[in-house]
């Protein structure tokens, strides 16, 4: 699946990632945690092609993706959500989700130029997939609503539906429960578990430790751009380095 080897990234001479190495196993939820500024967003930006790693290798099933543009990485099956929602507010919820299928649609467009009935069939098929994804995330009744009219928690779920609609090989979830109340958070946790049961592989960046300990199979900890620990949630919870670098710091500010 995805393998990072000594990935580094600098911003104006300051290191954001320093020789970070880890591997994602298929069908599992790997959580990436660490205090503010640890490099989590930078890392998923590098994996999704939003940003480019300065050094090191990022491989998807052995193929180097570190220098590919974001749309090619998406076409290889890596989808993501964004910490700050990136929805088209005036488009319907369904159209927002269908935007996650543009790669597939584009490919079939040329073929369907020649055979119009195939195009109509494709459109119906894609629409059904969109509706299925909305159903998976409990949004069926809102499919025709403009995305901008939804509550914040619903918008977070639209982002997730859009990421999963293409049945990607890997989904990067950037703080999916940030700003959500406990009921909405529990709902997202259920969705993550359900997607894992369906065989999806996820990298979860999250500050909510309860969620991480609840849904993650494996946890990777970053601190100041370095990977300081990795292992199962229970081991991470009691790792002194982690307590010092992350959880301890949180307690200190609580």
Ligand X SMILES: Nc1ncnc2c1ncn2[C@@H]1O[C@H](COP(=O)(O)OP(=O)(O)OP(=O)(O)O)[C@@H](O)[C@H]1O
Residues that bind ligand X (CB under 6 A): 11, 16, 34, 36-42
Nearer to ligand X, 143 or 185 (CB): 185
Distance (Å, whole) CA 100 – CA 64: 23
Query: Please, what is the minimum distance in Å from the beta carbon of residue 120 to ligand X?
Result: 43
Nearest approach in angstroms of CB 196 to ligand X is: 23
Shortest distance, position 85 Cβ to ligand X, whole Å: 15
Closest contact distance (angstroms) between CB of 39 and ligand X is: 4
> Could you give the C-alpha distances from 156 to 47, 160, 214, 231, 252, in angstroms and in order?
21, 6, 19, 28, 30
Query: Which CB sits closer to ligand X, 39 or 130?
Result: 39
With respect to ligand X, which residue has the nearer C-beta, 136 or 159?
Answer: 159
When the beta carbons of 26 and 37 are compared against ligand X, the nearer one is 37
- Shorter beta-carbon distance to ligand X: residue 53 or 93: 53
In Å, how far are 44, 156, 174, 226 from 2, measured between CA atoms?
12, 25, 17, 18
Q: Who's near 33: CB < 8 A, 6+ residues apart?
A: 40, 205, 206, 207, 209, 212, 219, 220, 221, 222, 236, 246
CB–CB of 238/232 below 8 Å?
A: no
Q: How far is the CB of 65 from ligand X (least distance, A)?
A: 19
The token duo for 159 is: 């982002």
Specify the length of the chain in residues. Answer: 254
Yes or no: say if 110 and 174 are a contact pair by the CB < 8 Å rule.
Answer: no
* Residue (11 or 152) nearer to ligand X, CB: 11
For the bound state, the minimum distance from the C-beta of residue 5 to ligand X, rounded and expressed in Å, comes to 19
């Amino acid at each position: 699946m995805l393998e990072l080897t000594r990935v580094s990234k600098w911003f104006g001479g300051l290191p954001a990632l320093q020789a970070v190495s880890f591997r994602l196993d298929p069908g599992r939820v790997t959580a990436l945690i660490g205090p503010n500024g640890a490099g989590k967003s930078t890392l998923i930006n590098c994996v999704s092609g939003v940003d480019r790693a300065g050094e090191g290798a990022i491989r998807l099933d052995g193929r180097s993706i570190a220098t590919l543009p974001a749309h090619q990485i998406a076409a290889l099956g890596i989808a993501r959500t964004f910490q700050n929602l990136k929805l088209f507010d005036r488009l319907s919820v369904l159209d927002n989700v269908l935007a996650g299928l543009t790669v597939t649609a584009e490919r079939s467009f040329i073929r369907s130029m020649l055979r119009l009935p195939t195009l109509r069939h494709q459109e119906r098929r894609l629409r059904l997939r969109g509706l299925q994804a909305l159903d998976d995330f409990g949004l069926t009744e809102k499919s025709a609503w403009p995305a901008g009219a939804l509550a914040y928690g619903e918008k977070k779920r639209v982002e997730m539906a859009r990421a999963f609609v293409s049945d990607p090989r890997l989904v990067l979830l950037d703080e999916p429960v940030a700003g959500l109340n406990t009921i909405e958070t529990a709902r997202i946790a259920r969705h993550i578990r359900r997607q894992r049961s369906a065989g999806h592989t996820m990298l979860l960046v999250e500050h909510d430790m309860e969620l991480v300990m609840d849904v993650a199979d494996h946890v990777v900890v970053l601190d100041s751009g370095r990977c300081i620990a990795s292992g199962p949630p229970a081991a991470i919870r009691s790792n002194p380095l982690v307590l010092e670098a992350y959880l301890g710091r949180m307690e200190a500010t609580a």
